[in-house]
Each structure stands twice: as C-alpha cells, then as structure tokens.
Structure 1
C-alpha cells in the first residue's frame, strides 16, 4: 500500500513553532534592554539558525555558549539544536582551566561568547581546541573588540532571512551537552536528545497546572536557575510550550531582580534555596511585599529547609519543593497535591509540598537497599533509583561511570530517602554526605532542617568530621540572623529531641558561626569547603 505517512519527530523546533503559532503576542523580556513577542522571537531564532548554517556549522557539531541568562542564550537554546547541532551550556562559574577542559572534552567547534567573557577566552586561547571559531556579542550590538578573529553574533541574525526549509533533524539526535558540577570529582559530560527534552517539558508543564501552583498561561515566569545548569530546569522550553511571558534577568543582581519582578508582573520562579534566601534577606525586600504575595516558587537543587519555607509562607509566597539531578534533565518529582492529600488539612498539605515531592507524570521511582537493590518498605530509608523517558543514557565518553549509573537498569541517584504513606519523597542525605557515627547514620538534611527552625538561624549546613571514638560526628555551620550562642542552639535541639523530632545523639558536637556559606558553581552550599574549614576552625 502506497502511503505518504509523516513520522512526526519530537524535536525542539516543534516547541518554537507551537509557541509562536498559539501565543504569537506573548512576550520574552530581557531585563530592561530588549523585548520580543513569541512570533518575533521565532523569526529571530530562524534567522540565527540560517546564519549559523551559512558560516559552516554542521550537523552534529557542538557549539559552546558562555553567557549570563540573556535573550542571546534563549536564542541559542532553540537555534543550535534546530539545525542538528549540539548546544554545550558552559559552566561560567568553573575556573578557567576547567572551562577549557570541558570545551576540549565536548569537542566544541564554535564558541558563542558575551563581550565581558572575551578576556577569559583570549587568556585561554593556547589551550582551546585547534581551529575553534569564536562568535561574540555585546548588549549594545556594537562589534566586540578582541585580539581573536571573531564573528559578530547580531550580524548572523540581521543579515539573514529566516530558515524556512525542514532540517530533517531526528528526535534521537543529540541536542544538548553540559557538565555536572563536579562535587564528587571531575565533572562528567551529560547529554540529551531532542525527544528527551520535549517529553520532559511536556511533563513539567502538566504538573505546574496542579495545585498549589495552579499555573496558567497568564502567569509570568522569571526562572532564577542559571541557563548553563541543566537547561535552566527545562523552563526556556516550558515557557513557549505553555504560552507564558518569560523574563530573563541577565547577570544576577538581587536588588535589580526584585525591581524587575515588580515591573514585569512576575508570578512564578524556580531556584535553589540559596537564591530564595538571598532575595528574602535583600535590604530592598521590604519594598516588594506586594510582589511576594502573588509569587509562586519551586525550590530544587538541594533540600528546602523548613525554616526558610515557613518564612516564605509568612510573606505570602506559595513555595514547593522539587527534586532531580543533572542526569535526569532534571525534574523527577514536585510538591504538587496528589489525590492522597488534596483533601487533607492545610498543615499536612504544606508539609507535603515542601518535601522533594511526588513523581511527575511518566516517572518511576523506587527506594532500594543500596547493597542488595531490594525495594524498601514505606517509611524506610534507602537509595532513590529512577526510570523516566528523559534520563541521560550515558556519561559522554565515560563507559565505566555510565555502567555504575545504570546498574540493574535503573538510574542510581546516590541520594538517600524514604517514601511516606502519601507517596511523597523525603530526602535525608546524599550517600557521600551521610554521617556514620558509631555504626549508625545521622541524616544531615534532617538535622539541618531542625536547626533551620531556630528563629535566630538564617542558614545552616551540617557535615561530618572524623572522631576517634565514633568514627564521625556532626558539625553544624550556621549563618545567624542575630547574635546567638552555641548553648541556645543546643538547648533548642534538646527540646526537639524531647519532642521526638530528632534523636538526641544527632546533636552536633561543634557549632561554627560564619558570615556566609561557600557556594558551588550552581549556588548550592559547598560542603567540601565546609569540611576543609573544620580543620582550621
């Protein structure tokens, strides 16, 4: 039988076309510098795609991007995969040597660089890939002066017509690559094909519509996850798919972010806990209480401390937890209301929504014994293992680590958790961070959560330190809101122990007060640095 059946491919360009067709007048806003409608943005992206082709970018070639959260980056999220090339989101918070190492490992053929990062690239030109071409840009659209021979980014858009013909990109083609933050050794290359990214965006869009977020196309997103970090959790794709106004903050300046949120009517954001803390404690925050009252926030990257969640709630912010990894694209679970809790009392629902959440559509999660792989009963601690249609299939050029990642056909997260009776995940520790004292584990995240409830504590992180008698004992690093003594904290924890909320033997032997927490390249608290600090304090 003769047929002209079309095999529809789940590719990133379909998201762009769908958004510009269904929501042509919705806006993408970059700071107070540039604005686009979805229609004009799609036209601009297709001009860039044509320009990249004309300078010789080939299918399968990797293009690194070094930039803040800008409209230029947003263009590259779509234009590069659209022509069958691969977007490499370079971690700009790595040291120069590590940036160069990831660019070499990824085998980038081109590098798109914001003007303020050009001195960095000039300095590293001797260790960059031979023959790699550099495309540069400035916000002013003036040509960037450099000792390197560069191609002007804006000219690629302005001197070309939109790419109209089909590019025949396959949904199984590699679309993106980036490198993990390297908290457990050398960064590992993680990559995703078009199909995985599209399916992830669909599922995240679906779960965002559930209470308590109840997001609609009338919401305004400002995602405060760096665009180099796991596709900014997929939201640059979700925005066009869901038809929401999308606001890009550029380089993070928290006073400016608060004013931009006010000006553009932002109602939804996603971020790690540190960013929420920095916004709520910003000196300008009291001027924006009206913004907080309409604001909905998803927290991921690390556990949401109960103390921070309650502070946000007091300000009228709807805050929920979420969970995922670089290797999982990243979202696996979110603190939406499932049918088991949607009719329960408000406090039960609040405590559920600030956990790591319940699995989002198409995600399978098990809690297993790390040694045997046997599934744990409800309420019992084990390792989280997962399956979903958007998980990375391998670490780039690293078969040994890939084998460990996918042992037994499930992706191993290395996170220790338990599942409660309502189906919500409670993460208690990373395997590498778990404190083993006297042969028993002390869950650092549960202990941090307890300390965060003290009214004089702003931030807290707990690490294990070597102990001759017990093997390890916990030490708590605290950023105080005001003057507080070690004894005050200890007595507070003893009271929680008497109430059965923690074990008495979990109480840290040391409390170390610091002015600010060291952060990783993705704004998580850097426990490696804290462990080193225990040797000097």
Structure 2
C-alpha cells in the first residue's frame, strides 16, 4: 500500500456522502420529474418528490423492524420503484441492500444468500410475490428469514413461505419526513455478486463514496440532463448500471421495466420518448430490427435524439450501423460490477469527441466508435499485464495483455473472499480478466476475455474482432468464435454461427476465406485468424445477455481432432 501523506489541515466541511442524497437532491431540485415503472397492472407513475417521501417512510419502517447500521436487507425481484426506494432508504440508515441475482442458477443463488447470511446480519428479504416459490427453492434456509412482499400476486399458495407483511402495509402511516443519521461514507451502500461465469459468483460491496463519485462521473461523461428520459435496461440485480442513482441526480426522467422485463423494453423505448439508455448489444438487436420495420411502414420514423451506450461486450458493427442509420447516437463504455455497478472505467465519447476524433472522416470515426471501448475517465488508472509473465506492457496499441484497474469506484477485492481477492490483485490494482490493448492516446480496445481468447501457435487471436467481420455476411445473424484443441497449433479458432431467419444449415453459403479476404487485405485481421471450421448451432446466452462461450468450448473442444 502506498504511503498516504498528510499536509496542512483543510477547513473543508466533513460532509459524509450517501446515496440517499441523490434522491433528496432530485426531490428538491427536480421534484416534479417523473419516475415510470411498467407494472403488470399498468405503468405506475409518480414524481421524485413523491418517491422521496416514501423513501423516508421506508427508512422509518426499517428502523422500526430493528434494521440498523451493519445489517443487510435482501431484495429479490425486479427493477421497480419500490425496490429503488429500498436502496435509498436502507443506505440512508447505514444498512446495506443485498440484491439477489434472480437469473443465477439455483445453486449459485443459494451460495450467495448463504455467503451474506454467514458474514452479516440478514433477517429480512423483500421479495416479489410472484417469486416466493422460486426463492423458497433457492434459499439455503427459508426459516432463517422474514419476508416482506413488494408486489402481492395471487395464485402462489404453493409456496410455504409466510410473508410477515407487504411493503405498502409496512410503510403505511409513517411520517414523510425522516431525521437521517450521519452514516460514514465508507459504509457499503450496496452488496451483490458477479455473474459467476468462471466459478462461484464473487461478492462485491461498494461504498456510498464510490457510488456518489461514480454517479457524478456518469452525469458528466454521459451528458445526462433534466430534458432526458432514461430507460434502465440493465436489471436492478445487475445494479441497473447505477441508472437508479445518476438519473435522479441529473434530474432526468427514469423509466424502469419492472416485472415485465425484458419483453417490454421495446414498447418502453418507443412509447416513453426515451433519449438515453445503455446495455449489452443483444438487448438492442431486436430494437433495431423493430425500428427498421417501423421505418418501412413510415419513412419518417427515426431514432433521432436517442443515445445508446454499449458495454459488457463489444457491440457488432452491423448493429451500430443500423442504429446510426436510424438516427441514434451510439458509443461504448467499459466496466463491470467491480466498477460500482456500471461501465464507468473508460468511455469512447465523454461528453463529446476529442479534437482527434473530430478530425476523422466518417469511416474513421465509425471505426473508432465500433472498435475502441474508450479512454479512461478522470480518476481511473490502468495497466496492461502480460498474461503469462505478469510484466507491465507499453501503451503502444500492439502489446495486448490483461487489463488491471485502480479507481475511486473500483473494488480492491471481493467481500469476505480473501483467496478470490488474492487471485485477482496486482498490487493496488484489480485484474479484470479482459484481454486488451491500449494505444498512445489512452484508447482501450477490448480484444477478448482472457479465458475466451484463442492462443494458436503461441500467438493470440481476439475472437470478437473476427466475429465482427463474419457478422457482416448477409446470411449470418450471430457468430461466436471459440478455441478448439489442435494437435499442431495447440488451439485453433472455430466459429459457431446462427444463420438469419429462413436460412438452414444446408442453405448457408459462406466461404470464410473468401468473405474475410477484404478485411485481411485492409489490415483489419490476420489471415491466420480465419476459423478452421464453421458449426451451425444455436448460440447460448448467459444471464447477463452475453454469449456463453464456456458452454460452446466444452461442447466443441475436440471438433478438430
């Protein structure tokens, strides 16, 4: 740990940052701005002023239940106004909301709940009524918790869990003004787990200070303002990429999909006048297809005014082109649950482009937007490490390695998991498991996940880059390049392809050498990156909307033997 030096004492007020200040600010400065949640009985609408009143009622109710600083409260459900109220209320009294990822496999959910119960006081679980029976199957000891139903739903009598009350009954009658305690800003404001694609999920806590700084950076970097309407596509169990925090902080309208997620995302996008959204590419593919269909019916239809930020995986070029042609503005960012729940390590458009991007022609600028994840946000420090030796590599654009990050909103390790922390630390930096290169302009290009990169004859092949150009073929809907064992080269790439609708495996007319030749000639890819074999199959998707390459690698590992 670097020595911390202290100089002359400052006279700056010692104001502790807290996430509830975000909704407090929204209520005071933007009190008439709307919060929309698509519930099963219709769209619920109220204002930030009304939300803050209920947050204060919820804080009083939690204290009356005996919840106090150092306790965790569980949240098991969807992105709804009630669950967001709980985030602000619990954090405001010093408790920590633990959001269970309901899309994890049952054994992983059980692991997460057990880990939190083992290391913190977890007495109450706030659960959507529709999910009582699911929770009963996944909780390690249902009798160890008390349950508050956030959305009563009939027809769930098969669950043995007996809720103590509903959320509305819980907060009813409490005063709408609450005397907030002073909570230390290093207290965990939120608790969750990674998606566990490489083993059991890893536990993460983020402090109020981290979330505060992260949200301020999002408001500035994304240029979100009171005239925006933001659709929170990432679910709350992925921390909503912090949109529940930075959207109120900016005074923008917040739209949440609620229990109808993800089937209602397109309707919300088009019907609520959304101007800002973010998510992984797979969730926006259908939106682009529907928008193109609408344009065929109405030539004046466009997505003008919509800004979409992609993260989680490099978005396909054809998707970006479709959205841009429809009038949307697209960009990329990079980050994970480790970055305070949102992609705020690097952006390729921070407010606006830099002078060097403005000097690019249209083709160069599109290459930049589609290929470069971004450059570091203020406060972010990056290193590139040789995957085999761990040595630091130069920022020259030609020295790929694993990215390691240090930032005021990046975790330094995993909560109550010292071994997992040690595996992923590089001094004060956290290794993120991504294979990247960084150039002299600080541009980060994400080449692959370290575990997904193909190493052929001692050289690395970045699978997303190859996928990007295979997807340009008119008969290809999606492609996924994976490593297969090879007797001579150690590993060689093969590609799993989902053809476009109406094209069977037999009808697929794709010669990879011929199709990729122009990209090889243009210097976009190397000839030896071309996959050795095409496999036509359905590409499985993880709970975070990404390709499940592990499943495909296990299935096709021996296909070249």
TM-score, normalised via structure 2 length: 0.88
Equivalent residue number for residue 71 of structure 1: 81
What is the deviation of 1:130? 5.2
What is the deviation of 1:396? 1.4
Equivalent residue number for residue 174 of structure 1: 188
Q: Within 2, Cα distance between the matches of 1:279 and 1:38?
A: 28
Tell whether the 8 Å contact from 1:486 to 1:511 is kept in structure 2 after alignment. Answer: no
Aligned with residue 24 of structure 2, among 17, 36, 48: 17
Q: Secondary structure at the match of 1:327?
A: coil
Q: Secondary structure at the match of 1:328?
A: coil
Q: CA-to-partner distance for each residue in 1:11-58, whole Å, 9 max, x for gaps?
A: 111111111111111110012431111111110111111111111212
What is the deviation of 1:239? 0.7
What is the deviation of 1:458? 1.9
Residues 1:257 and 2:270 aligned together:
no
Tell whether the 8 Å contact from 2:386 to 2:402 is kept in structure 1 after alignment. Answer: yes
RMSD of aligned alpha carbons: 2.4
What is the deviation of 1:282? 4.8
Tell whether the 8 Å contact from 2:57 to 2:178 is kept in structure 1 after alignment. Answer: no
Q: Within 2, Cα distance between the matches of 1:167 and 1:286?
A: 52
Equivalent residue number for residue 102 of structure 2: 92
- Structure 2 vs 1, CA of residues 290 and 128 (structure 1 numbering), >3 Å: closer, same or farther? farther
Of residues 99-108 and 481-490 in structure 1, the stretch that sits farther from structure 2 once superposed is 481-490
Q: Within 2, Cα distance between the matches of 1:352 and 1:535?
A: 33
- Structure 2 vs 1, CA of residues 398 and 506 (structure 1 numbering), >3 Å: closer, same or farther? same
Q: Within 1, Cα distance between the matches of 2:177 and 2:170?
A: 12
Equivalent residue number for residue 369 of structure 2: 353
Of residues 272-281 and 33-42 in structure 1, the stretch that sits farther from structure 2 once superposed is 272-281
- Structure 2 vs 1, CA of residues 258 and 129 (structure 1 numbering), >3 Å: closer, same or farther? closer
Q: Secondary structure at the match of 1:218?
A: coil
Q: Within 2, Cα distance between the matches of 1:281 and 1:535?
A: 33
What is the deviation of 1:201? 0.4
Equivalent residue number for residue 8 of structure 1: 15
- Structure 2 vs 1, CA of residues 346 and 110 (structure 1 numbering), >3 Å: closer, same or farther? same
Q: How does 1:94-493 map to 2 (within 5 A)?
A: 94-107=104-117, 108-124=122-138, 127-128=140-141, 131-138=144-151, 147-150=160-163, 151-209=165-223, 215-229=224-238, 231-252=239-260, 256-282=264-290, 286=294, 290=301, 292-329=303-340, 330=342, 331-336=344-349, 337-354=353-370, 355-370=372-387, 371-380=389-398, 381-482=400-501, 483=503, 485=508, 487-493=510-516
- Structure 2 vs 1, CA of residues 536 and 467 (structure 1 numbering), >3 Å: closer, same or farther? closer
- List runs of 5+ in structure 2 lacking aligned partners: 1-9
What is the deviation of 1:353? 2.5
Tell whether the 8 Å contact from 2:37 to 2:44 is kept in structure 1 after alignment. Answer: yes
- Structure 2 vs 1, CA of residues 255 and 414 (structure 1 numbering), >3 Å: closer, same or farther? closer
What is the deviation of 1:283? 9.1
Q: Within 1, Cα distance between the matches of 2:331 and 2:543?
A: 23
Q: Secondary structure at the match of 1:246?
A: strand
Q: CA-to-partner distance for each residue in 1:391-433, whole Å, 9 max, x for gaps?
A: 1132111112212322222121121111234432111111111
Tell whether the 8 Å contact from 1:419 to 1:425 is kept in structure 2 after alignment. Answer: yes
Tell whether the 8 Å contact from 2:412 to 2:429 is kept in structure 1 after alignment. Answer: no
- Structure 2 vs 1, CA of residues 502 and 486 (structure 1 numbering), >3 Å: closer, same or farther? farther
Q: CA-to-partner distance for each residue in 1:445-468, whole Å, 9 max, x for gaps?
A: 211122122233221211101111
Aligned with residue 529 of structure 2, among 497, 506, 511: 506
Q: CA-to-partner distance for each residue in 1:173-225, whole Å, 9 max, x for gaps?
A: 1111111111111111011111001110011111012xxxxx43201000211
Q: Within 1, Cα distance between the matches of 2:137 and 2:211?
A: 34
Equivalent residue number for residue 34 of structure 2: 27
- Structure 2 vs 1, CA of residues 259 and 130 (structure 1 numbering), >3 Å: closer, same or farther? closer
TM-score, normalised via structure 1 length: 0.92
Residues 1:48 and 2:58 aligned together:
yes
Q: Secondary structure at the match of 2:460?
A: strand
Q: Within 2, Cα distance between the matches of 1:25 and 1:185?
A: 45
What is the deviation of 1:535? 5.6
Q: Within 1, Cα distance between the matches of 2:12 and 2:555?
A: 64
Q: Within 2, Cα distance between the matches of 1:114 and 1:162?
A: 24
Query: How many residues of Structure 1 are paired with residues of Structure 2 in the alignment?
Result: 526
What is the deviation of 1:129? 6.2
Tell whether the 8 Å contact from 2:483 to 2:557 is kept in structure 1 after alignment. Answer: no
Q: Secondary structure at the match of 2:169?
A: helix
- Structure 2 vs 1, CA of residues 291 and 39 (structure 1 numbering), >3 Å: closer, same or farther? farther
Residues 1:39 and 2:52 aligned together:
no
Tell whether the 8 Å contact from 2:516 to 2:530 is kept in structure 1 after alignment. Answer: yes
Q: Secondary structure at the match of 2:413?
A: coil
What is the deviation of 1:139? 6.0
Q: Within 2, Cα distance between the matches of 1:252 and 1:511?
A: 37
